[in-house]
Structure 1
Amino acid sequence: MPRITASTVLEHRAQQERAILDAARSLLAEGATEAPTLAAVAARTGLARSSVYQYFDSKEDLLRAVIQDAVPRWSAHVDARMRAAGTPAARILAYVEANVELVASGEHAVFRGIAAATAGDIAVITPSEMHREQQRPLVAALVDLGDPEAEATADLVQAVLYRASRDVEGGGDAETALGPVRRLLSPYLESFDGAR
């Protein structure tokens, strides 16, 4: 019988599952081009492969769990930053800054790993659906700002965000990458403030 390392079996299972998810996330973040095998995840966690199968039936099942874990974590970080910002203009900047922070922290590497690993094979959520879902608070802030074409503007903001993210992933500093974004967005945001 395996040794329980928590005060209850339920807590032990939760700890083991968290360790497995974290191991899969780290393998994906390291540039995996396919879903990590359960054997590789087991080796990373120090568990027997048979132990990992107690939590996940297949590497596809594990990858789905990683996605279901990663998307809300990303969204929660962005939402918290936007809620703290106040005005619609500040919320829009907070959206961009929070996303660049996550890229700088290495979190985006997990999503790149997921995209490379799935290549359309695992139908949980496509990258475009994921980006559209994560853009919802940006669209809401743009509507609150008064932009009559909030969806189109959100796509433009996302394109600028993508460029800043690419700079950070290429080894650039987050604050430096955000400079051009702020300079580009500031006149647009001020044009709505002046109209009120």
Structure 2
Amino acid sequence: MPRIQAATLAEHREAQRRALLDAARAILVADPARPPTLTEVAARAGLARPSIYQYFSSRDQLLAELLADTFPQWARRVSERMAAASDPVEQVLEYVRTNLELVASGEHAMARVLTTIIDDDIAAYSRELHDELHTPLIDALETAGAPDPVATAGLIDGIVYAASRMLESGQNADRTVAAATELVGPYLAALSPGADGSR
């Protein structure tokens, strides 16, 4: 029997763990109101139920790790889209668009449910990660010439939050994203001269 190299075994275990997290995420996105059982997660990942205990000792541990996995991915997606934008004004608009696209995909509803069913330490961690999303937004607003980038970031988040609630109530995603960017756009356009941060 050929020997399994440690790196290969580690990669295999990580792939299995990732498959289980992805399976749990897919189930929760489809029905955020009902956290999945370990049996459901294992079945969706194509594993026997006892196998899941090699990776997670309980459903609570699985859900806690899913939450800890979800927010960094969300933050990375937003940061990457902002970094690819051509100027700070477009970066702010990408912040709005990308957050709302992720809400429309079901990720936000899933994450919000997770924060209500797991312990306070993980919920606090999720809030810290959420706060980290403000850093690139504030930076972009400062570069664009906003006189109070922190306060403006809070107002933009208020628009994103209101639009998120609309999406979760069933509003059309394209129209909702367009409406949110149309609210933010005129303010950004009024910043002068805008792109280089000079006034």
The answer, yes or no, to whether TM exceeds 0.5 is yes
AA of the residue aligned to 1:84? A
2:32 is the alignment partner of 1:31: yes
Do the aligned partners of residues 50 and 122 (structure 1) sit closer, same or farther apart at CA in structure 2, a change above 3 Å counting?
farther
Secondary structure of the structure 1 residue equivalent to 2:147: coil
Change (3 A) 1:33 1:141: same
Instruction: Indicate how the Cα distance of structure 1 residues 193 and 148 shifts in structure 2: closer, same or farther if over 3 A, else same.
Output: closer
| Deviation of 1:55 (Å) | 0.8
Give yes or no for contact 1:33–1:117 (8 Å, CA) kept in 2.
Answer: no
The TM-score, its normalising length taken from structure 1, stands at 0.82
- Residue in structure 2 matched with residue 148 of structure 1 by the alignment: 147
The 8 Å contact of residues 78 and 99 in structure 2, kept in 1 or not, is answered as: yes
TM-score, normalization by structure 2? 0.81
Percent identical pairs in the alignment equals 44
Q: Could you tell me how far apart the structure 2 residues matched to 1:115 and 1:125 are? A: 5
Aligned partners of 1:40, 1:47: CA distance in 2, in Å?
10
Q: Deviations 1:134-182 (Å, cap 9, x if unpaired)? A: 2221111112222232222111101101122222222222221123222
Q: Distance in 2 between matches of 1:150 and 1:76?
A: 21
Give the equivalent residue in structure 2 for 1:123: 121
Q: For residues 90 and 161 of structure 2, what CA distance do their matches in structure 1 show?
A: 19
| Matching residue's letter, 1:175 | D
Aligned match of 2:113: 113
Check the 8 A contact 1:60/1:122 in 2, yes or no: no
Aligned to 2:72: 72
Q: Would you say the 8 A contact 2:115–2:122 is kept in 1? A: no
Q: Supply the distance in 2 between the matched residues of 1:115 and 1:75 (Cα, whole angstroms).
A: 17
Task: Give the match for residue 42 of structure 1.
Answer: 42
Does structure 1 conserve the Cα–Cα contact (< 8 Å) formed by 2:145 and 2:192?
no
- Note the residue ranges of structure 2 that are not aligned, 5 or more in a row: none
Q: Is residue 162 from structure 1 mapped to residue 124 from structure 2 by the alignment?
A: no
Q: Tell me, which stretches of 5 or more residues in structure 1 are unaligned?
A: none
Q: What CA distance in whole angstroms lies between the structure 2 residues aligned with 1:68 and 1:158?
A: 22
